[in-house]
Structure 1
Amino acid sequence: MMLHTAHQNDGMLEKQAELAFLMGKHVREDGIHETKIPKLKFIRNAQPTVPIHLVHQPALCIIAQGKKIVMLGEESYSYDPSDYLVISVDLPLSGQVIEASPEAPYLCLLLELDLSLVLDVMKESELSMTKSKESLRGLYISKTGETLLDAVVRLVRLLDSPQDMKVLAPMVAREIMYRILNGSQGELLKQIAMTGSNTNRVAAVIQQLKKDYDKPLRIEELAAFANMSSASLHRHFREVTAMSPLQYQKQIRLQEARRLLLSESADAAEVGFRVGYESPSQFSREYSRQFGLPPISDMKRLRLLPSQQSV
């Protein structure tokens, strides 16, 4: 048994090293890098970063080299090459690279999740389709098994085989999804994908909040939209996102305000009104609480930092 475990560990280390090598060939500079495989991106950082705030879309994230901390509300998640991170719904997160250097840069693979593909794989593999009465957190970290890592490495290898990529990449992506669904916490993705589950209803409310983030929040209307009572919506929403609908809306507003301030020449008061705040002082106060500095000071700081877009 001990020999078998040692052999498995050696195999994992070899695959982690190969993944880092393959990614390093394709990304020589820091930042977010698109690849020729749809929905697949590489992230590189040659040094630790400050916390990066964003609303993250559903994705699988696997670190090939380095270490990161992700914050969801008051919850902290740390992961490294032995883990994978799954984000199943749009979540306001902050991420900070805590282990990276020019000699061994942080390297992370991001594969955007397509929930229609999740459902297809569930049906094809005849996985359980039972709807749970409970909702599950929209983010989790699990240990990366050898079969999942092997599939991820094979997907990245295809970048060096353009003649095979078009046919084989979708097949390997399906295998990766199958491995995640069969993982220790795969039930989360199953519940998100199944129409009518409480987790799926919360996901629909999240999309509605993102669409109408600048409008007054009416919990009764959101509850009716989700076919839930107000109390039930509050409970399930918090279970999925670690925050209330109002707190989620505030996060979306502040993230959008920050984006507008960076991309346009509008002043802080105008941006505050555009994202739904009625009081400039309230906007400035909540912005400072979220990002650590008032809007103008935060803009000066951000313009000196390299662009970041992912946890």
Structure 2
Amino acid sequence: MLDRLAAAIVRHCVGLGSETAVPRLFLAAVEEPIEPIDVLYEPMICFVASGVKRTTAGELKQVAQPGEMHLTTIDLPVTIELDQVPYRAAVMQPDDQALTELLVELDESGQTAPLTAGGQLHAPMTPELVDAVTRWVQLLDTPEDIRPLATRIESEILYRLLRSSLGPVLRQWSLADSATTRVRKVARWICAHYTEPLSIDAIAAAAHMSPASLHRHFKAATGMSPLKYQKHLRMQEARRRLLAGHATVAQIAQAVGYVSATQFNREYRSAYGLPPGQDAARLRTRHTHNRTATPWRA
């Protein structure tokens, strides 16, 4: 069954990763080993058909094997390494409204879920789930079927996910006042304001949490404190701008929120092992084949 899914992914994936005509479906296909990639994950579910993916977010590490699914509940700066290739994966960006409507239909919208803010989890896929995901990707073979069938198959996938070990966390996803939702809102706020000074008291108040509770739940979800999360965002954006080569190191430091270029250089070297200019030169020579037409999400 995984071979069928992998074959369908390869037929329709453009480059290392690509959007598709099926709403909320992204595909990834990597043939050869590549350099580790720094990306900002959005909330998603990654279904791995082949290869082995390792992700690192702060102190949290996850390994996704063939036949496993990898759930990310929060916007999360991660480093991706592929331990085995070829790598094939289909990625769903869950529709909040569709999930809520399904829970109402199943009369589960009021169920109490465990209080957890886990940002990354993985679990094995059942044969029924692999079949549903495969049929979802195979809609790309018959584009005329996408409009009438895509939402129906997507609903089936969500149903089977709710019946899996990831179900409790997905139920929290739809709750307006769950720890998962609160931490997700805080992370999105930091992503939108990462260049600004960060006040833990202010964002804790906005999330209706104490600073201590926010720190505990946020670190459980992301593997890092809010301040370190902000620094990871700044470093990723700085590295992206350095690779583009359209600004000086000093200009980039200021653009991502640093008043002191010295502090920026020190933190950049601590994060990536080289000063900004040297790291950018290395990336330009070794990462050219890693670039994709769309942001990596798998």
User: Is TM > 0.5 for Structure 1 vs Structure 2?
Assistant: yes
* Letter matched to residue 24 of structure 1: V
Q: Which residue number in structure 1 is paired with residue 275 of structure 2? A: 294
Count of matched residue pairs: 292
How much does 1:30 deviate? 3.8
- Of 184, 197, 201, 1:216 maps to 197
How far apart are the structure 1 equivalents of 2:136 and 2:113? 32
Greater displacement, 117-126 / 247-256: 117-126
Higher RCO structure (Cα 8 Å, ≥6 apart): 2
Do the aligned residues in 1 keep the contact of 2:54 with 2:80 (CA within 8 Å)? Answer: yes
- Of 169, 176, 180, 2:161 maps to 180
Q: Output aligned runs, 1:84-233, within 5 Å.
A: 84-100=69-85, 105-127=86-108, 129-132=110-113, 134-233=115-214
How far apart are the structure 2 equivalents of 1:19 and 1:232? 41
| Correspondence 1:37 to 2:25 | no
Q: Which residue number in structure 2 is paired with residue 307 of structure 1? A: 291
- Of 7, 16, 33, 2:2 maps to 16
Do the aligned residues in 1 keep the contact of 2:73 with 2:120 (CA within 8 Å)? Answer: yes
Q: For residues 39 and 292 of structure 1, do their structure 2 counterparts lie closer, same or farther at Cα, with a shift above 3 Å needed?
A: farther
Q: Which residue number in structure 2 is paired with residue 82 of structure 1? A: 67
Q: What TM-score results when the alignment is normalised by the length of structure 1?
A: 0.88
Long gaps (5+) in structure 2: none
How far apart are the structure 1 equivalents of 2:149 and 2:257? 46
How far apart are the structure 2 equivalents of 1:133 and 1:106? 33
How high is the sequence identity, in percent, across the aligned residues? 36
Do the aligned residues in 1 keep the contact of 2:117 with 2:183 (CA within 8 Å)? Answer: no
How far apart are the structure 1 equivalents of 2:283 and 2:139? 36
Runs of 4+ in 1 over 3 A off after TM superposition: 130-133
How much does 1:132 deviate? 4.9
Q: For residues 258 and 128 of structure 1, do their structure 2 counterparts lie closer, same or farther at Cα, with a shift above 3 Å needed?
A: same
How far apart are the structure 2 equivalents of 1:203 and 1:193? 12
Greater displacement, 261-270 / 149-158: 261-270
How much does 1:133 deviate? 6.9
Do the aligned residues in 2 keep the contact of 1:131 with 1:194 (CA within 8 Å)? Answer: no
**Over aligned residue pairs, what C-alpha RMSD do you find?**
1.7
Q: For residues 132 and 36 of structure 1, do their structure 2 counterparts lie closer, same or farther at Cα, with a shift above 3 Å needed?
A: closer
What SS does the corresponding residue of 1:303 show, helix, strand or coil?
helix
Q: What TM-score results when the alignment is normalised by the length of structure 2?
A: 0.92
